[in-house]
Amino acid sequence: QVRLVQSGAEVKKPGASVKISCKASGYTFSNHAIHWVRQAPGQRLEWMGWINGGNGNTKYSQNFRDRVTITRDTSASTAYMELSSLTPEDTTVYYCARGPDFPYMDLWGKGTTVTVSS
């Protein structure tokens, strides 16, 4: 079936990096973009960036000031999001989501919880 499966929860120290994976199945990975969105408890959804599944082009939110890197492995139908220089404020749930030709999101992963604590 069509789905996005994300990697498991992570616990990191401040200053560290985290890399989350998002494996797609049930559709042609290269025909769609993958977005990364995060959501702190009780907060609005925050878009981080996207990658074109076909050509690998990326677009990032400047709100993350070069801390975020999104990559993909087409042979594994998997996208990755790496966030560096973590602070406790990065403790939240991170979602990957599929984007069709235009940047809304029509399929979401279940989310990955990242906890940043010393």
Partner 1 sequence: DIVMTQSPDSLAVSLGERASINCKSSRSILSSSNHQNYLAWYQQKPGQPPKLLISWTSTRESGVPDRFSGSGSGTDFTLTISSLQAEDVAVYYCQQYYTTPLTFGGGTKVEI
Q: Judged by CB, which is closer to partner 1: 102, or 118?
A: 102
Strand segments, DSSP code E, in the chain are 3-6, 10-12, 18-25, 33-39, 46-52, 58-60, 68-73, 78-83, 92-99, 107-108, 112-116
Q: Judged by CB, which is closer to partner 1: 54, or 111?
A: 111
Our finding on whether 27 is near partner 1 (CB under 8 A) is no
Q: Cα 2 to chain center, whole Å?
A: 18
Q: Judged by CB, which is closer to partner 1: 27, or 108?
A: 108
Shortest distance in whole angstroms from residue 36 CB to partner 1: 11
Chain residues in the site for partner 1 (CB under 8 A):
35, 44-47, 59, 61-63, 95, 97, 102-111
